[in-house]
Amino acid sequence: MSISHTTPTAWRKSSYSGARDQNCVEVGNLPGGAAVRDTQHRGAGYLEFDASEWGALLDTVRTVGE
């Protein structure tokens, strides 16, 4: 699935990842969506999600975390 030909230039670490936690992901903004990559394997690429998919994921995570 490709939503953009733009590569995210600024990545941020998940707020659920602790300083010592090595099992974390990073998120980068894309026009019309978001990209997610594994912090330990940045060179392996990233997954792209359009805005509706990303929003649905975040809504689900928030609901499950309550």
pLDDT one digit per residue (tens) for the chain, 66 residues? 555 567 887 899 877 666 666 778 899 999 999 999 998 898 999 999 999 999 999 999 889 866
Q: How far apart are CA 19 and CA 47, in angstroms?
A: 23
Evaluate whether residue 5 is within a structural domain: no
Kindly report the number of other CB atoms within 10 A of residue 38's CB atom.
15
Evaluate whether residue 4 is within a structural domain: no
pTM of the model as a whole: 0.75
Can you give the pLDDT at residue 9? 76
Can you give the pLDDT at residue 53? 95
Evaluate whether residue 40 is within a structural domain: yes
Q: How far apart are CA 4 and CA 14, in angstroms?
A: 22
Evaluate whether residue 18 is within a structural domain: yes
Evaluate whether residue 6 is within a structural domain: no
Q: How far apart are CA 5 and CA 21, in angstroms?
A: 31
Q: How far apart are CA 35 and CA 46, in angstroms?
A: 6
Domain that holds residue 47: 11-64
Q: Structural domain tally of the chain?
A: 1
